[in-house]
Amino acid sequence: MTPDRLFEPISIASLTLKNRIWMPAMHMNMCRKFIVTDQLVDFYRERANGGVGMISVGYATVDELSGQQGNIGAHLDEFIPGLTALASAIKTEGAASCVQLNHSGRYNHSLFLGGKKPVAPSPVPSRMTGETPRELETDEISATIQRFADAARRVKAAGFDAVEILAGTGYLISEFLSPLTNQRQDNYGGSLENRMRFGLEVVQAVKAITGTDFPLVVRINGNDFMPDGIGRDDLKTFAVHLVEAGADALCINVGWHEAQIPQIVTKVPRGVFAYLAKDIRGQVKVPVIASHRINDPDVARQLIGDGFCDMVAMGRALIADPQLPNKAREHQEQKIVHCVACAQGCFDNLFKMKAVECLCNPRAGKEAATTPKMTDNPCKLMVVGGGAAGMSAAIATAEQGHTVTLYEQGMQLGGQLHLAGAPPGREEFSALAIDLQQQLADQGVRVVLNTSVDAQLLEEKNPEALILATGGAPILPNIPGADLPHVVQSWDILARKAHAGQRIAIIGGGAVGIETALFLAEQGTLSGDELKFLLVHRAEPAEELYRLATRGNKQVILIEMINKLGTNFGKSTRWSMLQDVKRSAVETHTEAKVIEITSSGVLIEQAGQQHEIQADTVILAVGTRAHNPLQKVASAMQIPCEVIGDALQPAMVFDAIHQGFAAGRSIL
């Protein structure tokens, strides 16, 4: 049998890792006043137990201006005990351990600094925070370099196996590197040589204090994706100089937080940015790690096998499924729960100042409190509804030893996950339905499809407990003409149960309305294979290929009553979805009240004026109502029951899965 490249050992300086899977540092917001908490230790202990080769935690602070209190602290000796506990937990479970050091520079906010201004190489305003940083003085630059070194000393003293420096993503080191944010006239500004100086001196100082045998990894951008910023060629030059300065491995990141190229959301193809790692790997003789949207072992193997990288970084993939490495090594890959890149529980939680959670994995960040407890009193439980909430509830209940039967009135499990997965670039949601179905099978849940549950069936089966996850139904608005034959629901369009004409008006500019608009706007565009064929053969100019890839054969019009579109998307997703709406030439009307649906279109009122939008198909996307016909029946039959998901109150997929999990765990 051919050896599995993913599980071949690899060395970084003097450290040998058991496999090629690297869990990159991610801000978890689980520290309190910079101190490592039991919550963070439990989180990483479970990932180490899952079989990953190396875990990098962080980022960790180097001084009081470099981060905020939810970050891991490494800028004072008093944080060493917490760091020691974290290193010990990771290493005890069999993974190598690393801490990423960083200074956020102009990406920090005075709110986190007690009113102090953030610092940067030059006073260039940050689009992310809206603040203008203070320019670092020369002596402050030297002091900051020393603080990186001092923090690295603490990391080594705490028992970690390696240290990493974040030199990309728009933070302080990459701010020095980029002409966009570095307008200095001294030895740290101007030429590329000068702009590289700060990052290189940080690496040299860290290497000097930790020693040549202590591995040093640097995470850099392969492309900043910032107009007029630093590009691939200069970043390759920077990579070469970093290795000369002492870097023992390079982890290749992509983009700044301000960049307008999507980097983390569902529509980003798996492994698409690995070409940047390949660029840099050809320039250096140390291990290179590819990252971003690598959530499946087959993608990882292909990237390593094709020479794009030596290792793969799997971050959110291991939040979603800590056991991913073990499952891949044991040829149980069908059991992996894949990250869908929704960002609802990870990045969006950070914007809310909450600890990281996960849509796919309700245990993430709550490992100790949610470990399955095998019941002493197994019961016979019925779950009604095979959508996200129902499947999650059935899995969580069965994990504790109960006998569970799940009933679904349709012919497939997944419910609205399949609707969410219908628009272009959203296919991961449909994949999640398959992953959840596999979990049902793994837990021995009996699934009954194409069966409606009523009083007669309840009486016949006589369950000891009942979880109702009967979902929701699309709202039929009280608009004159809503019952006309050319009016259809968005759900029917996304499920391909209904067809739309050439000119389409969609009433409702929330998430479902936008997803429906993009689903329809995609029709008639070039596929990826078609685009590649025409591009490779230079059949058309690049601009014409762009047009053919973005403009379909339908004219789509979105109508929204309030002044914004997509307000129920998460913050990480909304901007890129609106970007797609604009790129696809979807016509939008906000602050528009629908007066009537006519035989020829939609009559709206906007700014006090009425006019008709012509359309041969009108699609309703005005929201969801709870569908819960069984609660009263169960109550009358005195069957203990809990209502979850859209059957309780329409919400996001995240809420449905977490409610289902909580309901299942509550049955002891």
Q: Write the CB contacts of 411 (distance below 8 Å, at least 6 apart in sequence).
A: 449, 450
Q: What is the pLDDT of residue 208?
A: 98
| Average pLDDT taken over every residue of the chain | 96
Distance separating alpha carbons of residues 284 and 282, to the nearest angstrom: 6
Distance separating alpha carbons of residues 327 and 320, to the nearest angstrom: 13
Distance separating alpha carbons of residues 98 and 164, to the nearest angstrom: 7
Distance separating alpha carbons of residues 579 and 262, to the nearest angstrom: 10
Q: What is the pLDDT of residue 382?
A: 97
**Cβ-contact 4, 21 below 8 angstroms:** no
Distance separating alpha carbons of residues 232 and 223, to the nearest angstrom: 5
pTM for this prediction: 0.95
The backbone torsions φ and ψ at residue 259, rounded to the nearest 5 degrees and listed phi first, read -65, 145
- Calculate Rg over the CA atoms of the chain: 27
Q: Write the CB contacts of 376 (distance below 8 Å, at least 6 apart in sequence).
A: none
Burial 77-101 (b: 16+ CB within 10 A, else e): eebbebbbbbbbbbbebebbbbbbb
Distance separating alpha carbons of residues 650 and 421, to the nearest angstrom: 18
pLDDT(42) > 70: yes
Q: What is the pLDDT of residue 204?
A: 98
pLDDT one-digit tens code per residue, 252-271: 999 999 999 999 999 999 99
Residue whose pair of structure tokens reads 């702009």 in the numeric block: 195
Q: What is the pLDDT of residue 1?
A: 65
Q: Write the CB contacts of 155 (distance below 8 Å, at least 6 apart in sequence).
A: 60, 74, 83, 99, 101, 163, 210
Distance separating alpha carbons of residues 356 and 125, to the nearest angstrom: 28
pLDDT(31) > 90: yes
Q: What pLDDT band is residue 128 in, cutting at 50, 70 and 90?
A: confident
pLDDT one-digit tens code per residue, 289-307: 999 999 999 999 999 999 9
Q: What is the pLDDT of residue 317?
A: 97
CB atoms within 10 A of CB 181: 27
| SS3 (DSSP) at 68 | coil
Distance separating alpha carbons of residues 224 and 253, to the nearest angstrom: 9
pLDDT one-digit tens code per residue, 334-386: 999 999 999 999 989 999 999 999 999 999 999 999 999 999 999 999 999 99
pLDDT one-digit tens code per residue, 379-415: 999 999 999 999 999 999 999 999 999 999 999 999 9
The number of C-alpha atoms within 13 Å of 557 and in the hemisphere containing its C-beta is 19
Q: Which helix (H) or strand (E) holds 324?
A: helix 324-329
Q: What is the pLDDT of residue 668?
A: 82
| SS3 (DSSP) at 110 | helix
Distances (CA, A) of 444 to 374, 437, 614: 15, 11, 53
The DSSP result for 254-307, as a single string, is ---TT-SS--SSTTSPTTTTHHHHHHHHTT-SS-EEE-SS--SHHHHHHHHHTT
Sorted by where each starts, the structural domains of the chain and their CATH numbers stand as 5-351 (3.20.20.70), 380-469+648-665 (3.40.50.720), 476-622 (3.50.50.60)
Distance separating alpha carbons of residues 628 and 207, to the nearest angstrom: 63
pLDDT one-digit tens code per residue, 472-483: 999 999 999 999
**Cβ-contact 634, 453 below 8 angstroms:** no
Number of DSSP helices (H) and strands (E) in the chain, helices first: 22, 28
Q: What pLDDT band is residue 20 in, cutting at 50, 70 and 90?
A: very high
pLDDT one-digit tens code per residue, 132-185: 999 999 999 999 999 999 999 999 999 999 999 999 999 999 999 999 999 999
pLDDT one-digit tens code per residue, 650-662: 999 999 999 999 9
pLDDT(2) > 80: no
Which tokens go with 195? 């702009």
Residue whose pair of structure tokens reads 């351990």 in the numeric block: 97
The backbone torsions φ and ψ at residue 217, rounded to the nearest 5 degrees and listed phi first, read -110, 145
Bond preceding residue 59 cis, omega within 30 of 0: yes
* Mean pLDDT of all residues in 596-619: 96
